[in-house]
Every structure is written in C-alpha cells, then in structure tokens.
Amino acid sequence: MTAPILRRLADLRAKTADWRRAGETIGLVPTMGALHAGHLSLVEAAKQACDRVIVTIFVNPKQFNNAEDLANYPRTENKDAEKLAPYGVDLIYVPDPDQIYPDGYATNVSVGGSITAVMEGPFRPGHFDGVATVVAKLFLQTSADKAFFGQKDYQQLMVVTRMARDLDIPIEVIGCETVREPSGLAMSSRNLLLPEEALAKAAALNAAMREAAAKASAGEPWEPLEAAARQALAEAGFGDVEYFDLRCAETLEALETPSRPARLLAAAWLDGIRLIDNIAVPQLNS
C-alpha cells in the first residue's frame, strides 16, 4: 500500500504530534524525488533505527544555481510513491511550495567557513545556502529525531551536520554509504538524464577515482595522479572536470598525501550532465 502523501505543514504536524504523544521516534529521509536504490537504502536505515519514517520530496528551487538544471530536474512523484510502497514508510511529505517559502519569506541559513569555501561552494554559488535553509526547515517541520543522508553528497552531509549542531536543532544526522551501479557509477537522480551510451562512459569517473586513490595510498604524490585522472576522463569523453581533489575527510583541507583520514572528491561534466562522486582514501602507512 502506498503511504499517505501530505502537502500541508499543519497536516504533517498533526501526525507527528500523535506519534510524539505515543512516545515514538521519527526518522527523516529528505529527498528531491526521482528515487533510486540509494534513497531506498536510506529509507531502510531509517526504518531500522526509528519507529516512524517520513520521506520528504521537494525540488528546492533555492539550491539550484542554474535555471535550466532546475527546469530539467526529474519529477516522478507517482513512481516515487510506488517505489516507497514496499518499505512501509509512514508518510510522504510533498510540501506545496508555500509551505516551505511562504509569501514574503526572507530568511537564509548559511554555513560559512572552510567546509563551504571549496569544491561545490565556489562552483555552485548559493547552493549550500539553499540546502542548509531547506534542510533546517525540514528538520524543524518534521521534528525528526534522526535524519538520513547519502555520503555521495559528502560535502552536503558535512554542511547539514554543522548546521544542525550550530543551530542546536535536536536531531542526529546519519551519513549512509553511497549505493553504486555494478559499473561503480554512484546512483544519482541526475543519472536519469544521461542517455544510454553516456551511462557506460560515466563509470570512468569512479574508475579514475579508485585508481588515483589506490596509488595515493601507496605513497604516490597527488599532483601527477590528478593530472593522469583528468587525462583519462578526457579520453573517456568527459568535458570539464571541475575538481578532482584529495582532501582531509574531517576538515576538507587539501592534502598532498593521505597522511590522515582522507577523501577523494570529484565533479565532472558528461554530455551536459554534472556528475559528482567521492570515495574514502585508505591512509598512507608512514
């Protein structure tokens, strides 16, 4: 059976108030829809950890820095509800736009500092303000105890964790493993926009990342590894590689070697679609 879809905040609050009175815990899986196996793994994690689970679907205009990207973003609400049916989700919150941004809305949540100053920050101006603002609202609207995010958007996960901590929102943010296609391609709603032949090429991103990470962990210096990866991606048919960075997993500071817990993070364009991915880089034995 498909879960009830609520579109108004008052209806959502009436439900969550009942659950709270019964002493039940609430898990939240925020999404922009076009659900795939990655989202469904978050739902499974939420079901295991909480008595009640809310999935939200809201294509948040404030986090798009490109009007065409917003217009093209896949919207598949009926299919999404069908995909969620076997998971026993308690409700799907698909807020009408005025439930998030009512007339005269004027507040912005902005996470500053080093975690937003790099990678997605400069390449997508305003993106993280949009994410932090909508996620803060969803945390407050749902009053969830735990929220589940994919590690695929590693920087986003850091931003929402910091935002909740800085604003004292009583919620635990949980990062879950990236789910991948057999080819290694990270699952993403944007993959739906890739033509069939580009899907095969897209796997080159993760392959280049795994190769560079393995060599960095074996002690090879980063700069030539990055250059070789950029070359491999160009040969595989990728366009601009916006970043292909080795960074500290906790601060996102750039690293020359994985001398402490590290992450390799990349963003690259393929056939007009921007793909991002990240993987853990095993620490160099010093």
134: contact with ligand PAF by CB under 6 A:
yes
Catalytic residue among 15, 39, 137, 201: 39
Residue (127 or 230) nearer to ligand PAF, CB: 127
Interaction with ligand PAF in 55-74: which residues (CB under 6 A)?
A: 60, 63
Q: Is 112 flagged in the annotation as binding?
A: no
39 is catalytic: yes
Q: Is 151 flagged in the annotation as binding?
A: yes
Q: Is 96 flagged in the annotation as binding?
A: no
Which range, of 44-52, 77-85, 97-105, 128-136, touches ligand PAF by CB under 6 A? 128-136
Distances (CA, A) of 14 to 9, 18, 161: 9, 7, 27
Query: Which of 3, 32, 194, 249 touches ligand PAF by CB under 6 A?
Result: 32
Query: Which of 131, 176, 233, 252 touches ligand PAF by CB under 6 A?
Result: 131
Least distance (Å) from ligand PAF to the CB of residue 64? 10
Under 8 Å between Cβ of 7 and 95: yes
Compute the distance between CA of residue 65 and CA of residue 7 in angstroms, rounded to an integer: 25
Under 8 Å between Cβ of 246 and 255: yes
Under 8 Å between Cβ of 254 and 226: no
Tokens of 160: 């929402």
94: contact with ligand PAF by CB under 6 A:
no
Which range, of 9-17, 90-98, 129-137, 242-250, touches ligand PAF by CB under 6 A? 129-137
DSSP structure string for 28-81: EEEE-S---HHHHHHHHHHHHH-SEEEEEE---GGG-S-HHHHHHS---HHHHH
Q: Is 37 flagged in the annotation as binding?
A: yes
Least distance (Å) from ligand PAF to the CB of residue 128? 9
Under 8 Å between Cβ of 48 and 27: no
267: contact with ligand PAF by CB under 6 A:
no
Q: Is 38 flagged in the annotation as binding?
A: yes
Q: Residues for the chain: how many in total? A: 286
Q: Is 150 flagged in the annotation as binding?
A: yes
Residue (30 or 258) nearer to ligand PAF, CB: 30
135: contact with ligand PAF by CB under 6 A:
yes
Under 8 Å between Cβ of 238 and 271: no
Beta strands in 112-218, from DSSP E residues, in sequence order: 146-150, 172-176
84: contact with ligand PAF by CB under 6 A:
no
Tokens of 81: 């509800």
Which residues are at the interface with ligand PAF (CB under 6 A)? 30-32, 60, 63, 131, 134-135, 153, 156
Q: Which residues are annotated as a binding site for beta-alanine?
A: 63
User: Mind telling me the catalytic residues?
Assistant: 39
